[in-house]
Each structure stands twice: as structure tokens, then as C-alpha cells.
């Protein structure tokens, strides 16, 4: 995602449209599982005056910034410092068992990219941190300096889909024996040398895939999402809706699989009627993954890689 457009929520009009049947003219509860700077939530609270928001984020700085932005909505907002797979515990702590809407805006936020000390952006020389919650856990430097070569290759291949993982890791291991990695600038220089020139001309910035892979590993993003999707869906009330914005194929694949699994009937094929309790739990509201149009991308470059999926609960959880 890009910097300089943190005030522009991606696909905002479409998200309001998708949530309208669940929120309009009634008391409703929305969980924004990745509140970030609060742009989507602010607009949804404005659009639906009877909406209550539960705002989750693992990043204390994001909660502080969104708290300032959403302060005008007063007691309609509750903030919880948690990773999004902690959604069930978060709502239970507020006396809720089911909610009417859930929003995930996945990936790294513009605020995190813009703050050089967080280490997310390969365009700025900064400490190799990359923790979304900087109060806990290991850093990207820890990964580079301590992981076995085979593990580093796996991470770059699985999380970054990096074709040159072996070449990169060979260079990393050679360099870390001389001096441990501490800053992003040194890693970026290594990646420029390790990735062939032909690939640099056609494959985008040579650091993009490695930085994505390190960020996913440091924050356990795919494991968390794999747990978070079923947990969130089990908390969705009848006729409630879930909307997920993903920004890379690995996330989108997990979201697609989680929604599709509950959108299928469990009635054996060939039976003329749906067996009680065997119908689908979800109705898919999007045909595949929706993308931003050229106009939005021009106005907000962060939207270029978005993939939006949405579903509505139509049956009780199994």
C-alpha cells in the first residue's frame, strides 16, 4: 500500500452499500476488526446513527489515532487492544454474543508505512522492526539474524512468493555472519544485488516480496487470519454481514476458502429437498473478489491491489 493517502478509506461507498441492509433504521453492532485510522468506521457511524462500533486493533498507535478521529461519536464506540483473532473474547467482554456486521481491512496501514521507525517501508532506511504491535514479539531483524537458512527460504517462498529465495537467503546468511542486520537500508541494498537485473526491470521493486514475507512472519498474519475468519463468522448474527478487504493473494485465498466453505449446502447431492440443518450458513454477496475502478485507484493508489469479498449469514452456525 502507498503512503500519503491515509485519509482515504478504500472502496468506502461499496462498503456502506453492502452494510446498509444490516444497519439501516435499526440498532446494530459493527466490529471493525482492524480499525487503523478509523476512516471506514467514521463514515459508517455517520451513515447509520443507531450503529454501535467495537473497534479492534493490535497497534496501540492506531487505537490512539482512531480514538481521536472517532471521539465525536462518544459512547457509541468501544476500543479494544487485541489482534483480530481475539474478536470473540472482545465482544464477550462487552456483554455481546452476536454482532450485525464485521469489517476486516487487512494488511499494513498507511500510518504504519509513513512512520519510518516502524520499519515497514523499503523506501526508507529504518530499524528492521515490522511489528504491528511494537510492544511485544520478535522483529524482522530477529528473523533475518536467527532463522535457519531453510526456514528463511520457506518464508520468502510461501509468504512473499519470491522466485529468488535461495539466492537472497544465501546472501543474507553470508552478510549476517559479518554483522547482524539492524536496518532496512542494508537489506534493500542486498536485495538489489541478489535479484537479477531482468527481474528488477519487470517485477517491481526487488524488496517488495521479501518485505511482505518478513512482515507476515513477524506478525503471524496468515495464521491469525486462518483463526480469525471462523471465529468472526461464528459471531455473526442472522442476516448479519461480513466484508473483507485483502491486499495480497495469500490473504484473499484464505478469505475465499473460509466464506465458500460455509456457503455450501451439506445435503447429499441428488436429494430433492434440503435436509434440515444442512443448508448453507452464508450467502456470498460478491461475484468473486471485487476490485477498485480506475477512478478510485487514480485518487487513492492504495486501492490498486484491493480484493473485496462479502457474505451474509442466512443459516445458524453448524
Binding residues for S-adenosyl-L-methionine: 38-40, 57, 84, 105, 112
Place of cell 537485473: 197
CB 32 within 8 A of CB 9: no
CB 58 within 8 A of CB 30: no
Cell of 12: 468506502
Nearest to 291 by CA among 312, 274, 272, 306: 306
Would you say the C-alpha torsion 147, 151, 155, 161 has a positive or negative sign?
positive
Instruction: Please give the torsion angle defined by the CA atoms of residues 36, 37, 40 and 46, in that order, rounded to the nearest 10 degrees.
Output: 130
Q: Residue 19's Cα: distance from chain center in Å?
A: 19
Instruction: List b or e across 3-34, with b for residues whose CB sees 16 or more CB atoms inside 10 angstroms.
Output: beebeebbbbebbbebbeebbeeeebbbbbbb
Place of cell 485510522: 37
Q: Residue 14's Cα: distance from chain center in Å?
A: 18
Residue ranges of the binding site: 38-40, 57, 84, 105, 112
Report the distance separating Cα 314 and Cα 241, nearest Å: 10
Q: For residue 240, give the DSSP letter.
A: E
Cell of 239: 442476516
Q: How many CB atoms lie within 10 A of CB 249?
A: 13
Cell of 7: 485519509
Amino acid at each position: 500500500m502507498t503512503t500519503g493517502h491515509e485519509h482515504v478509506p478504500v472502496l468506502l461507498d461499496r462498503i456502506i452499500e453492502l452494510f446498509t441492509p444490516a444497519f439501516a433504521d435499526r440498532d446494530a453492532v459493527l466490529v471493525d476488526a482492524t480499525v487503523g485510522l478509523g476512516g471506514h468506521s467514521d463514515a459508517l457511524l455517520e451513515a447509520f446513527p443507531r450503529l454501535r462500533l467495537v473497534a479492534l486493533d493490535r497497534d496501540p498507535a492506531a487505537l490512539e489515532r482512531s480514538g481521536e478521529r472517532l471521539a465525536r461519536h462518544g459512547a457509541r464506540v468501544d476500543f479494544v487492544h487485541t489482534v483480530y483473532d481475539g474478536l470473540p473474547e472482545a465482544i464477550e467482554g462487552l456483554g455481546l454474543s452476536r454482532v450485525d456486521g464485521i469489517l476486516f481491512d487487512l494488511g499494513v496501514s498507511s500510518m504504519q508505512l509513513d512512520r519510518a521507525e516502524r520499519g515497514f517501508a523499503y523506501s526508507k532506511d529504518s530499524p528492521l522492526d515490522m511489528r504491528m504491535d511494537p510492544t511485544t514479539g520478535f522483529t524482522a531483524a530477529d528473523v533475518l539474524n536467527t532463522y535457519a537458512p531453510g526456514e528463511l527460504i520457506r518464508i520468502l517462498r510461501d509468504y512473499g512468493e519470491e522466485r529468488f529465495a535461495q539466492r537472497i537467503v544465501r546472501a543474507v546468511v553470508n552478510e549476517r555472519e559479518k554483522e547482524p542486520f539492524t536496518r532496512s537500508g542494508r537489506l534493500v541494498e542486498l536485495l538489489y544485488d541478489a535479484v537479477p537485473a531482468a527481474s528488477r526491470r519487470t517485477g517491481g521493486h526487488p524488496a517488495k516480496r521479501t518485505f511482505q514475507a518478513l512482515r507476515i512472519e513477524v506478525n503471524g498474519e496468515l495464521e491469525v487470519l486462518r483463526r480469525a475468519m471462523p471465529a468472526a463468522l461464528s459471531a455473526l448474527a442472522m442476516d448479519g454481514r461480513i466484508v473483507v478487504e485483502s491486499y495480497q493473494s495469500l490473504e484473499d485465498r484464505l478469505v475465499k476458502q473460509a466464506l465458500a466453505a460455509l456457503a455450501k449446502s451439506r445435503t447429499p447431492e441428488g436429494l430433492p429437498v434440503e435436509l434440515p440443518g444442512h443448508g448453507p450458513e452464508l450467502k456470498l454477496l460478491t461475484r468473486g473478489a471485487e476490485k477498485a475502478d480506475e477512478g478510485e485507484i487514480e485518487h487513492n493508489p492504495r486501492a490498486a491491489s484491493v480484493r473485496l469479498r462479502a457474505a451474509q449469514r442466512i443459516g445458524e452456525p453448524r
